[in-house]
Amino acid sequence: MRIGTTLTQYIIRKQQEVDGASGEFTGLLNDIAVACKKIADLVNKGALVNVLGSAGAENVQGEQQKKLDVISNDLMIEALACNGHIAALASEEMDGVYQLPEGARRGRYLVLCDPLDGSSNIDVNVSVGTIFSILKAPEDIEFPEVADFLEPGTEQVAAGYCLYGPSTLLVLTTGEGVSMFTLDRDFGEFLLTRSRVRIPEDSQEFAINCSNQRFWEDPVQRYIAECQQGADGPLGKNFNMRWVASMVAEVHRILTRGGVFLYPGDSKLKAAGKAGKLRLMYEANPMAMIVEQAGGAATTGRERILEIQPEELHQRVPVILGSRNEVERVTGYHLPAESA
């Protein structure tokens, strides 16, 4: 029986296309895949290995940490810190930059991650995921600091996620399109199951947390109302709605069948001093790279996400991403009337 292309084979073939490649990037992607396989195993086992429930602490975001948030973060550190492929690591679960142990071999990359996104779903057995973003580390800096991570999303050399759902899927872009790999648990390898993924430019499916409707700005109010008016409204088509409360699951659905995902800024977030709910560096940027590489679009409603110059490591931004024509419509509604 033909095994198919493993993630490791795929990465090595990509490396062979790059003159002078050292194999370090290949090693880094493999390290991330190992961490995801370990997280997938624990997510799958859940209560059997006592990893559900609260960790009894808050993370730097002031959010209740789940046990698996902490464990997943530790697994990412374990997989990345000692193989000489990274110079430093940043994570939703850590306030500052994770510096490598004294004497550890340093690599040429910086990794940012949300080790377990959507973890509020873990106790109710709904899909969750790991999101990662890879930047080039600054040369000749042994201990990169926060400022060294604050690069716009256009500087990412790779981005991806691992979705822990009915299947465990690793989705990856290195800037040449989007590929999907499915974990074969029989022999513990991610196998290539889709490549050159494209998001349909149009859609009839939107994803937003409607419980926040009274806080939305007018452009979002207008767009969602038009979706709800369906075929009788100005958009001339009926829409379906989804909200999983797990960004990785929402983005994967959009990559698979199109759609538009919105987590806009709103008056409630603004009153709390937040520009949005989702974090730029390890949620919005990696997902924006993946979506754009699949032919979609990703904006804050007012600017392209990948072009934002970060100011803080845990900075939050509004996110509107997915099918290009729908994202452009919503973004157009944000333009001043005179320029629309």
Chain residues binding ligand P6P by CB under 6 A are: 117-118, 120, 209, 245-247, 250, 263, 277-278
Q: How far is the CB of 59 from ligand P6P (least distance, A)?
A: 11
Annotate the chain with three-state secondary structure.
Answer: CCCCCEHHHHHHHHHHCCCCCCCHHHHHHHHHHHHHHHHHHHHHHHHHHCCCCEEEEECCCCCEEEHHHHHHHHHHHHHHCCCCCEEEEEECCCCCCEECCCCCCCCCEEEEEEEEECHHHHHHCCCEEEEEEEEECCCCCCCCCHHHHCCCHHHCCEEEEEEECCCEEEEEECCCCEEEEEEECCCCEEEEEECCCCCCCCCCEEECCHHHHHHECHHHHHHHHHHHHHHHCCCCCCCEEECCCCHHHHHHHHHHHCCEEEECCEHHHHHCCCCCCEEHHHHHHHHHHHHHHCCCEEECCCCEHHHCCCCCCCCEECEEEECHHHHHHHHHHHCCHHHC
Nearer to ligand P6P, 25 or 263 (CB): 263
Instruction: HSE, CB side, 13 Å, CA atoms: give it for residue 191.
Output: 11
Q: How far is the CB of 128 from ligand P6P (least distance, A)?
A: 8
Q: How far is the CB of 272 from ligand P6P (least distance, A)?
A: 12
Nearer to ligand P6P, 246 or 300 (CB): 246
Residue number with the smallest Cβ distance to ligand P6P: 247
Instruction: HSE, CB side, 13 Å, CA atoms: give it for residue 18.
Output: 13
Nearer to ligand P6P, 163 or 170 (CB): 163
Q: Which two tokens stand for residue 327?
A: 């994202």
Check: CB of residue 306 under 8 Å from CB of residue 295. Answer: no
**Residue 129 and residue 256: Cα distance in Å, rounded?**
16
Q: How far is the CB of 335 from ligand P6P (least distance, A)?
A: 25
Q: How far is the CB of 269 from ligand P6P (least distance, A)?
A: 10
Q: Strand 168-173 and strand 178-184: pairing? A: antiparallel
Nearer to ligand P6P, 89 or 247 (CB): 247
Nearer to ligand P6P, 180 or 254 (CB): 254
Nearer to ligand P6P, 27 or 259 (CB): 259
Q: How far is the CB of 250 from ligand P6P (least distance, A)?
A: 6
Q: How far is the CB of 117 from ligand P6P (least distance, A)?
A: 5
Neighbouring-strand partners of residue 130: 162
Q: How far is the CB of 78 from ligand P6P (least distance, A)?
A: 24
Q: How far is the CB of 127 from ligand P6P (least distance, A)?
A: 10
Nearer to ligand P6P, 86 or 278 (CB): 278
Nearer to ligand P6P, 223 or 263 (CB): 263
Nearer to ligand P6P, 239 or 263 (CB): 263
Helix axes 24-45, 7-16, angle to 10 degrees: 160
